[in-house]
Every structure is written in C-alpha cells, then in structure tokens.
Structure 1
C-alpha cells in the first residue's frame, strides 16, 4: 500500500555530501568505507520536521493503565501474538527550536482558574500538537480537550457553586484555553478540529447547573462510587460508570417535568446534561484522576465507530465484481481505494475492525461477493495512516493513550506496525457486533515501563555509532 505523504530531506543531505566530498574524502579512503561513513552521518543528521522514526519501546503516561494492560486487553479479545510496538517520533527541524513556548495573550475576563490545572493543560497541548492534531483528533486530541474543558469547569464549581458558565464567560474562557494551549505548542485551530464551541462550557439546554440543586436531585454518593475509579478494560462492556452517568443525566433533564418535543432536542438535552454530570464528577476528585476517568469513559464511544470517510466504491465494485477474470485490475483498484483512507487519520485497532466491516458491507451491497480483503491481502493496518517509507500502517491502542514530548526527539505516540491481522470480510448473514462481542483475535497490547524509553533510544543511536566507529577503524588501519 502506498504510504502517506511525508516530507523528506534526503536530497538535501545528498547534495551536502557531494559538495563536501572533495575536501572531506582522503585519497586512501576506499569507496566502501566512505559509504559506511556517509550512511552513518546521514542517519545521525536526518532530523526532518515530519520524519517518522521507530523504537521498540512503549510509554504510557497513565501508569495505572500500563499496569492493567500488562495482562489483559479487552474482554472477549484474546492475544495471539507478542508484537513489537513502534513509537513514531515527529522530530524537529535542526534549524527551528522544537520548544514552542510563548506568552499567551489572555482576555483577563475568564472566571476559571486556568493555572490550577497546569499539568492537565500540558498533557492536552502535547496531545493536540500543532502538526499532529488533525491526525490524532478522533482518538487522542479531541477526547483529551473535551475532558480538560469539563474538568476546568468542574474544578471551578468548588468556588462558584455553578456547573456551567454563562455565554459571555464561556466565550472568554474558551478563547483563553485555546491561547494557553497554542502558546505551549498546540494547534490553534482546535475549536474547528474538535468542533468545540462556547456552548460546550455552558449548561446548554440542560435545566440544572447549580451544584446544590444537582445534589438534591441525584444520588451523588452512588454516582461517585460508580465512577471514582473506572476499569479501563471492562467499562466499555460493563458500563458501570456510564449507566450511573446516564441515570443522573436523565434525572436532571426531567427537573421541569416535561420532555422535548423532538428526538433531536431530547438527544441534545441529554448530551448537555451528561456534560453537567461529568463536571460534577470532576469537582469531586483531583484533576489528573478526573482526566483518567473522563478519558476512559469517552474511549468507549471512540472505539464504537469508524471515523473514516469512505469515497465512492463504484470503481472497486466494477473491477472486483468478477475477480476471476482480472485479478490484477481488482487488487490495483482496491489498493488505490485504500490509499485514500490511509491519508485521513490514525485509528485504533478496534476502529479498524469497524472500518473493515463498513467497507465490506458497502462492497457487498454493490454485488461484490468474493472476499477481496483476503484476495488482495488487505489487513487492518491498511485502514490507518501510514508511517515512514516502510509503508506500514500505524494502529493506535484501543485503550486510552497520550502523545509524549521529549525536547531532543520530539512528539511521540504508541502504535504497532506488526499488527498483521487480515481485515475480516463481513458475513452477509451477520449484523456487525459491538466490540464486546468481536471474535477477531487482536495482538496483546505491548507493555513496558517508562524506564525502558531511554534504553530503546540509546539502542538506535548506538547502532549508528558502531557504524561510524567501524568506518573510522578501517580508515586508520
């Protein structure tokens, strides 16, 4: 499959090498030794802004998640291999400082205590880093941004007694949040990327926003007991916390005793009341713990649907309707179609299952009866953004994860390039099932401690150093 477009500075390095060849290459240096030296120097100097690098280690910001995922992934999904993970590193240009901190220009009119959640804002800024935010939006960036906003309002309610902001303050605060995140390196278009509006900080159509009123309607002790600690592995299937949130949101939505006149209005009200419930929860636990809870809850919704936009499948259906006549034409058409999907975003392994099912059903409706996923060797990786020249798709973990920042190497996030699971062709007699009932065996989620990060990075540099030393040894001998 063709890889996603990633800039390359290979030509620049090659030109520089040619320019310095006469002055730097001694007369007794053999072409083979020069090749070794040049290769090593090229590896060490290549730091293109959007180049992608890999290292066989895993880092989870949430240490609790790491411990839980050492032995289990998701219920009903058993491991069948022990893949080596890869962490794509978006390295900075050597001419431009990677640290992008600046002084934010704040309105001075936001009533939220934005400095009280500095660590949370830093996590969000990295998750929504300028260059990667559009590609991590669905899985990492936007869930983290929404959690941050709810936690900010929830923490503020401890002082104000209100679980929502009015329209004026909501506008100022959202602008200030964006400004702070942008000053720390986040994308300045997050409102557009994540569809966040000032109304996301207000009560919207929910009739309850006062903390005392909320607690008089909802069994707050039961709600807190159900959601204070959320099981990252089992919550999506057991829905212990989600059911408690739904029950609380339903109770406060019915405070006035009436129901919205339309289904869309009812859905909108429930969403707004659900946010009020999440803010109340965020006010009862510390910000980082609240962030963990909210991310784990939202993760269930993230993995439920395929976020990709499917182009028209007409050409594929025409070429693959009778694959026995022209195998090559069918697979070429399929390869070209999938290449469009690979330019959209990074997705999780469970999302990839949903995407494969959706595409398979679309093709079946157009009278494609052959399993062309198997026929053309389409795997789950082929539905996600491709990284590097190795043409390997990056599937993110199905459990909540974050991007990480290192001043020397850049932004990194965990993915797996060895997840060679064939895309399942949907059975015409079966309705697509939820992730709790999926029978496809997924690889075990790679797990490692943060202490392994440095060792992996040193391994890569050590290999390059050995090549350089070998070249110099041969030269002097």
Structure 2
C-alpha cells in the first residue's frame, strides 16, 4: 500500500440486514449489553452445547431523522425547559453516534463526547428563556430522563448513563458559584470569549489553544466569586464545573450545529492525549519476554494473545493508538522486558483498536472529531483508517504523550488534518472501500 500514515481509509457501510457480530463467550458482553430484544422470547445468542456463539443479525435502527412530533416519540415530563424540537438535528446525530450495538465500542471517541456536547447545548439553549446556565437538582433528573427517552426512541443504547458516566448533577452548576446569565456576563469578557471560540479552528485549536485559553480564563473569573481558592482541595472540580458553565454560555450564543463543532473540537484535544484502554495483568507476557528472550515464538504468541484482548475494548483514534502503544510498552519495561517486542513480533498501531473483517484490519478513527451516519439504504456508516501497517513505536526512557504539536518527538507521520496541513487532502487520492458483510466486523 502506498501513501502517508493515514492516506487510506475504509468506509464502513454496515448493512444491518447482513451484519454479523461475533461475541466470544469469555471476553465479550452478554446479550443485554447490546439492548436487543430476542425474537419469540428466545436468545439472540443461542449457545451450542459446546458454547460456540451464533451470529447476531441486528435489527434496523429507527431513522434518526424521525420527527419529534410523531406518535412514536415517548411522553416527556412536561417540566423540562429543553427545546427538543429546536435541537432535533443534534438529538438525531447523538442517537446515531450512540447507536445501540456500537455505543460501547465508540463510547470514548464518538458517542460520549457527542452526548456531553448535546447536554451542554440543551442547557445553554434553554438559558435564553430561563436566564440560568444550570438546572436545579429536581429539573436535572427530569430533563436527563427526557433526554434518555428521546434518544432511546431513535435507536440509541438504553444504558448511555452508565456507558458515558452521565449523572443528573452534570446538568447543575456543581461547585461553580455562578449560574445566572447576567452575573456571568458581568464577570467575564464575553466579547473576547466569543471571538476566541465562535470561529474555532478545529485543525489547529489543540496546538494554538486559542479557545481553550479563553474558556479557562472565563472559568477562573467566575470561580473567583468564591474568594481565595489557593488552599481549596476541590479546586480541580470547581474549575471543571465552571468550564461547563462557560461552554453552556457559548452554546447559548451559537446555533446548535456550530456549538456542537466547538464543544466536540475542544473535547478531542483532551481525548487524544490519553489511551482509553485498560491494561490487565502483563505478568504472563513478561514471563515469556523478559530479559534475554530465549524463545521468540512463545514471546510473540503471548504478545499477540494479550493485544487481541485489548481489541475487545474500544475503537481508538490514531493518536490514542500511539499513546496506548507507549503505555503498554512502559508497563512491560517495568517488568524487565527490555527488547523491542513490538518490532520483534510485528505489532502495529492498528492492532490496538477493534479489528474489522476477516483480514483483521484494525480500525483507527481519525484524531479529529467524527460522527456516525445513518440512512435507510446504506445503514450505519463510519470512517476507519487502514494505515500502512505502521509499526507500534517502542517507548523511549522519556516518553511524551503523542501529539501533532510536539515536533521534537519522533513518531510516525500524523494525518494531515491533525497537523494543520489541510491542503494535503487535495493532493492524495483517498481510497474508500465498502464493507459489505462478506467482511465481518469482529468485536471479539
């Protein structure tokens, strides 16, 4: 294959009438995790006497564009100030991003960031009428229930609160001392804030931090209402709660679509700094690979087995994959694995993400915010990067988080959009492959 690190993408067009999702008995979630009703009262995952899982054929999700006014919309509480009709497009996109079967696997990059952004937008837009940038505890519970019901009616996973760790308190002011719009606008240079964020450059923001700095400054200004916070142990919580207030104010001044782009752009700056995967005990790998490796085959078998279990967790972005490779490498180094086993065992970056198809091609998502799309013809669609088998870099003694901003770190070439070189997109031919279900999205 030719081209740069991310010059080849795969476009998943998942036709729900033929999609097969295999779930391993030992390592994958039970049926209830996917939220599908079993036909005729039976189990969608009937197990043979030997325990071999049978394929699941998911049902077609309701269209995310279903009008909120039709008879299928669940009955709402009637007391929540959210204008769901005005936010129809954002709610529909959120339901698709959090589509029932895929929500757990797209949670950290797509679904949960979009759900968080949606809640910020709903509170912000409602403040135009309420003049408040937060809900009280009672309204928070009722509004969160309403949001869940609307999303569920459009095909979203019914366990989003657990998956995305959403609580009713996320809609309140938390520990931030300001929630009144007038008080906020008195304490903050709103012109500067709006100028810095309304035209957020999604490609360069994570490096320039133009909007991030403006949000942080505004949050400090309103948190100062509490007085001297030098010795306050909950300082980080106060800062986070006040930043939520700032984002809600921004969402009240922008249309929902633009507000979504700003909030998702800011959240991705944090998402790409970390590895979202959890690493179980590596002692078995260390035992086979530590010090001088006497049996390369046994070491690589242990590495392959360990990494294959990581692939059951989540889709990750290209930058997250770099951080995951570094995190696992450093964990192994602490257990006396001194040789570059990534090179020895041909471990590539795409192996840290969910694998797609019989070719076991790892699906790396873009480092920029992305969404899932749905239509009745092609079904669920999202873009995955099939890179050129870039080897996972073995971490050095001073490992820094992967970043397209740090030009001194020797990491594989980053996607053009993430490094600010937008023009490169026009120079390359992007190859899109359609995944019909002769390819299988292997989640286990």
Question: Normalization by structure 1: what TM-score?
Answer: 0.75
The Cα of 1:115 is off from its aligned counterpart by 1.2
Tell whether 2:410 aligns with 1:439: yes
Q: 1:229 to 1:131 in 2, by over 3 A?
A: same
Report the secondary structure of 1:415's partner residue: strand
State the distance in 1 between where 2:377 and 2:342 align: 41
Tell whether 2:359 aligns with 1:397: no
State the distance in 1 between where 2:5 and 2:238 align: 44
The Cα of 1:325 is off from its aligned counterpart by 1.2
Indicate if the aligned counterparts of 1:150 and 1:282 stay in contact, CA closer than 8 A. yes
2:15 paired residue number? 91
- The 5-angstrom pairing of residues 320-335 of structure 1 reads 320-335=289-304
Match of 1:158 among 116, 128, 139: 128
Match of 2:314 among 345, 352, 375: 345
2:180 paired residue number? 210
Match of 2:241 among 265, 272, 295: 272
The Cα of 1:441 is off from its aligned counterpart by 2.5
The Cα of 1:443 is off from its aligned counterpart by 5.4
State how many pairs are aligned: 378
State the distance in 1 between where 2:76 and 2:6 align: 48
1:285 paired residue number? 254
Indicate if the aligned counterparts of 2:6 and 2:386 stay in contact, CA closer than 8 A. no
The Cα of 1:448 is off from its aligned counterpart by 8.2
State the distance in 1 between where 2:392 and 2:106 align: 22
1:172 paired residue number? 142
Question: C-alpha deviations, 1:109-158, integer Å up to 9, x for none?
Answer: 21111111100111111101000000000000000001010011111111
State the distance in 2 between where 1:278 and 1:460 align: 38
Report the secondary structure of 2:195's partner residue: helix
Gaps of 5+ in 2: 19-56, 64-71, 418-423, 437-444
Report the secondary structure of 2:173's partner residue: coil
The Cα of 1:254 is off from its aligned counterpart by 1.2
Match of 1:387 among 338, 342, 356: 356
State the distance in 1 between where 2:153 and 2:217 align: 39
The Cα of 1:106 is off from its aligned counterpart by 1.4
2:76 paired residue number? 106
Indicate if the aligned counterparts of 2:113 and 2:267 stay in contact, CA closer than 8 A. yes
1:315 paired residue number? 284
Report the secondary structure of 1:87's partner residue: strand
State the distance in 2 between where 1:172 and 1:433 align: 40
1:3 paired residue number? none
State the distance in 2 between where 1:329 and 1:420 align: 23
Tell whether 2:348 aligns with 1:355: no
The Cα of 1:261 is off from its aligned counterpart by 5.1
State the distance in 1 between where 2:247 and 2:395 align: 37
Report the secondary structure of 2:392's partner residue: coil
2:54 paired residue number? none
The Cα of 1:208 is off from its aligned counterpart by 0.1
- The 5-angstrom pairing of residues 77-156 of structure 1 reads 80=4, 83-93=7-17, 98-100=60-62, 102-156=72-126
Gaps of 5+ in 1: 1-78, 462-477
Question: Normalization by structure 2: what TM-score?
Answer: 0.80
State the distance in 2 between where 1:407 and 1:448 align: 29
Indicate if the aligned counterparts of 1:91 and 1:411 stay in contact, CA closer than 8 A. yes
More helix as a share of residues: 1
